[in-house]
């Protein structure tokens, strides 16, 4: 997968995320970047896809590695990532967002299905929501495996942020 270009779906502004377990509860982020290379990188590591499955976990691991040079040390559905990170030395799980970090959303929260969802926090917005890059997250019917979407999510119940110290 390394070196392949993947389509980008740019989300448009929508309503605020406040309710639980409703697909329309996320906000769609306006396009601020024409492609991923315009987002600031915090390190010089390349985008490496270890899972090669086009899922949100594949993107979160690869993009977080690109920004920090730290791959996740676990596998599994997004819903398991906070518990796995808590049990892995050097990783922090918090309810407070930071850039860069991995957002992990539990099933039934902010439109996430039974496997949960992970993405990468690219920015914390002035209203406290987080601007994320994601794979396999549909926005207005667009998105899916290997397709990058940008979505605003809110910190709160059912949401954790993961990073390496």
Q: How long is the chain?
A: 165
Is pLDDT above 50 for 5?
no
C-alpha 55 chain-centroid distance: 11
- Its pTM stands at 0.77
**Every domain of the chain and the residues it spans:** 56-164
> Of 3.90.1720.10, 1.10.620.20, 1.10.730.10, 3.40.718.10, which CATH number belongs to 56-164?
3.90.1720.10
Q: What is the pLDDT of residues 8-56, one digit of tens each?
A: 444 433 333 322 233 334 445 544 433 443 445 556 798 989 888 999 9
Q: What is the pLDDT of residues 118-153, one digit of tens each?
A: 999 999 999 999 999 999 999 888 999 999 999 999
């Amino acid at each position: 997968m390394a070196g392949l270009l993947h389509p980008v779906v740019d989300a448009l502004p929508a309503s605020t995320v406040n309710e639980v377990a409703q697909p329309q509860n996320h906000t769609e982020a306006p396009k601020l970047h024409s492609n991923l290379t315009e987002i600031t990188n915090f390190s010089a590591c390349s985008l490496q896809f270890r899972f090669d499955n086009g899922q949100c976990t594949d993107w979160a691991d690869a993009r977080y590695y690109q920004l920090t040079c730290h791959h996740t040390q676990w596998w599994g559905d997004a819903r398991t990532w906070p518990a796995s990170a808590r049990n892995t030395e050097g990783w922090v799980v918090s309810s407070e967002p930071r850039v860069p970090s991995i957002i992990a959303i539990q099933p039934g929260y902010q439109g996430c299905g039974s496997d949960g969802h992970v993405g990468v926090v690219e920015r914390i917005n002035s209203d406290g929501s987080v601007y994320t890059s994601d794979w396999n997250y549909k926005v207005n019917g667009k998105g899916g495996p290997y397709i990058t979407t940008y979505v605003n999510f809110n910190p709160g119940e059912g949401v954790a942020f993961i990073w390496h110290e």
